[in-house]
Amino acid sequence: MKNWIERLSEFKSKRQPVALVTVTKCLGSAPCVVSSRMIVTEDKSIYGTIGGGKLEFKAIDEAITALKENRIIESSYTLGPEFEQCCGGKVEFIIEPMNLSPELFLFGAGHIGTEIAKLLVDTPFKVKLIDSREGWFSEIDVDESIIKCQVKVTDFKTFSDAVTWGNNCYVLVLTHNHAIDFDIIAMALENQTKFLGLIGSKTKKVRFNNMLIKEMNIEEGMSNVICPIGLPIGGDTPKEIAISVVAQLLQVHYQPVTK
C-alpha cells in the first residue's frame, strides 16, 4: 500500500478507529511479501492488500476483533487446502488497533477533578477538563497534556459539543452544582459512552434516578451510571478519592472484553 503513513494520519485527524495489518514473515510461496500492509476500518472497508483471497478475509475478521477488544493480534497461517491454495506457504502478520485511546471528559475542575486529571498524566487517557465557572482556569495549574475547556451554562449545547461521544468516551461529573450535574447526566444518557460516573451519595443517586424516570422519561434511570464513583479502597481527601476514581477508570479500560 502506497502512502500508508499519510492514510493513517488522515484517520488519526478524524479520530476514526482503524486496524493496521502488516505482514511480518513469508515462507515458501505466498501471495504477499514482508511489509505488505492493509488498513481495515470498523465497517470492514480496506485500504491496501496482503494478497487477497481467504487469507485477507481472515485478516479482516481478526482486524475487527482487534478493534473491538483494543488489543494487538499476531497471527500465522499455512496456505493449504483451507485457503484453497496448495502452495504450502506460510504467512505471519501483526494487527495493530489505532486511534482507540480512551478520552475522559471531566466535568468539574474542583479539588477532586483537578487531582484526577493530574493522576491520569502519562496513562493511556486523554483528558479534557471542563468547567463553567468564569475565569476558573486562571488559578488552575495542570500538565499541558490536559485540555482545559471553558463552557457556558447559559448555552447548554456547549456542554454536549465539548464531548466526543462513542465507545472510547469516559465521562465523569463532579461539578459545583447539583442541577448542572443532573443536566449533564441526562445529556450523557442520550449518547454513547464507555463509562459514565457521578460523584455523590447513594441518596443523590436515588434522587437523580427518580428525576430521570419521572421528569426526563429516561426509563433506565441511573442504572447505567456509576454512583458513587471510585473503588472502595478507603480515604476521603481529594487526592485519595481521586486515586480511587483513577484506579476504577484504569480497571474499566484494561479489563478483558466479554465475548
Same domain, 107 and 34: no
For residue 226, give the DSSP letter.
B
- Asked if the structure places residue 145 within a domain, the reply is yes
Q: Are 18 and 99 in contact (CB under 8 A)?
A: yes
Same domain, 82 and 121: no
Same domain, 179 and 240: yes
What band does 36 get if pLDDT is binned at 50, 70 and 90?
very high
Same domain, 108 and 24: no
Stretch 42-61: mean pLDDT: 91
Q: Has residue 59 got a pLDDT over 90?
A: yes
**Residue pointed to by grid coordinates 482556569:** 137
Whether the model clears a pTM of 0.85, i.e. scores above it, the answer is: no
Determine the pLDDT at residue 258: 42
- Asked if the structure places residue 232 within a domain, the reply is yes
Q: Which of 42, 77, 98 is the last residue of a domain?
A: 98
Q: Has residue 34 got a pLDDT over 60?
A: yes
Q: Which of 53, 82, 98 is the last residue of a domain?
A: 98
What is the dihedral sign for C-alpha 36, 41, 46, 50? Answer: positive
- Asked if the structure places residue 58 within a domain, the reply is yes
Same domain, 75 and 127: no
Amino acid making up residue 82? E
- Asked if the structure places residue 1 within a domain, the reply is no
Stretch 160-188: mean pLDDT: 92
**Residue pointed to by grid coordinates 489505532:** 98
Note down the domain range covering 213: 103-254
Stretch 162-190: mean pLDDT: 93
What band does 2 get if pLDDT is binned at 50, 70 and 90?
low
Count: domains in the chain = 2
Same domain, 119 and 230: yes
Q: Which of 77, 98, 119 is the last residue of a domain?
A: 98
Q: Has residue 259 got a pLDDT over 50?
A: no
Which of 126 and 84 is assigned the larger pLDDT?
126
Mean pLDDT over the full length of the chain: 90
Same domain, 82 and 137: no
CA distance 175 to 204: 14
Same domain, 126 and 82: no
Same domain, 51 and 111: no
> Of the candidates 78, 84, 77, 123, which has an alpha carbon nearest to the alpha carbon of residue 104?
123
Q: Has residue 156 got a pLDDT over 80?
A: no
Same domain, 90 and 124: no
- Asked if the structure places residue 259 within a domain, the reply is no
Q: Has residue 257 got a pLDDT over 60?
A: no
Determine the pLDDT at residue 82: 65
- Asked if the structure places residue 229 within a domain, the reply is yes
Same domain, 67 and 167: no
Determine the pLDDT at residue 84: 58
For the stretch 130-142, pLDDT in tens is 999 988 898 888 8
Determine the pLDDT at residue 154: 72
Q: What is the CATH number of the domain that holds 196?
A: 3.40.50.720
Same domain, 88 and 208: no
- % of the chain at pLDDT higher than 90: 67
Determine the pLDDT at residue 227: 96
CA distance 93 to 96: 10
